[in-house]
Amino acid sequence: MRLLVATKNPGKAREFADMLGDRADVSYLTDFPQSVEVAETGLTFRANACLKASGYAQQTGLWTIADDSGLEVPALGGAPGVYSARYAEREGAGEGDAANNALLLANMKDLAEVDRDARFVCVLALADPQGRILLTTRATMDGRIGFAPRGAGGFGYDPLFEIVATGRTTAELSPAEKHAMSHRGKALAALKTLMDGRWPPTGQSV
């Protein structure tokens, strides 16, 4: 079965490749340079995941998994939330991971450790080749935001996101460790469970 994972993010692509293994013949949006970007106009992670899964499935004619994920910090009113990838850009503070991390640290500079709780959220949506959403899953990962970046792995906010039980950031984990506990790893594990033995899927969400 050929499956499209609807991302151009190289970090996400690596994670999906690791976690899916040989389950399917996986393609990414970089394999479809003619595809038209689907606007993330939803107000929730689920809405954006469904928009992307449906839109890219219709463009490519492939079964499609789309991810929408981000960081929520309660002390910042849930920001950056669905705008995690565009956090600094929306504030005119640059673009990309380094700018996003710098803005997050600046906005949290006066917060003590006890007030730095955070969670990663991931929603996955699976669409059939006609763009119908058949499955969605949602998972989270709890932690806190550190005072400075640590670690060379991962991407996005990983260098700032500390797992309290281990004292390490997600950028300090091996890929296998991260997949076992991350929001994306848990969401994909749930999606694979829903898919197992029921192909094509009949529709369900968790």
In the predicted structure, residue 199 carries a pLDDT above the cut 80: no
Q: Say which DSSP state 153 is in.
A: S
pLDDT at 26: 87
Across 200-204, average pLDDT = 59
pLDDT at 1: 72
Provide the whole-model pTM: 0.89
In this prediction, residue 5 has a pLDDT band, given cuts at 50, 70 and 90, of: very high
pLDDT at 46: 97
In the predicted structure, residue 198 carries a pLDDT above the cut 70: no
pLDDT at 99: 98
DSSP letter string over 81-117? GGGGGGHHHHTTS--SHHHHHHHHHHHTTT--GGG-E
pLDDT at 94: 97
Across 88-114, average pLDDT = 97
Q: Distance of alpha carbon 25 from its chain centroid, rounded?
A: 21
Q: Which amino acid belongs to residue 178?
A: K
Across 101-119, average pLDDT = 97
pLDDT at 16: 83
**Cβ contact 150:158 at 8 Å:** no
Residue 68 annotated to the active site? yes
pLDDT at 108: 98
- Residue partners of 31: CB distance under 8 A and separation at least 6: none
Q: What percent of the chain has pLDDT over 70?
A: 93
pLDDT at 206: 54
Q: Token digits for 156?
A: 């996005």
Of the candidates 22, 25, 67, 68, the residue annotated as catalytic is 68
In this prediction, residue 45 has a pLDDT band, given cuts at 50, 70 and 90, of: very high
More confident residue, 15 or 196: 15
In the predicted structure, residue 44 carries a pLDDT above the cut 90: yes
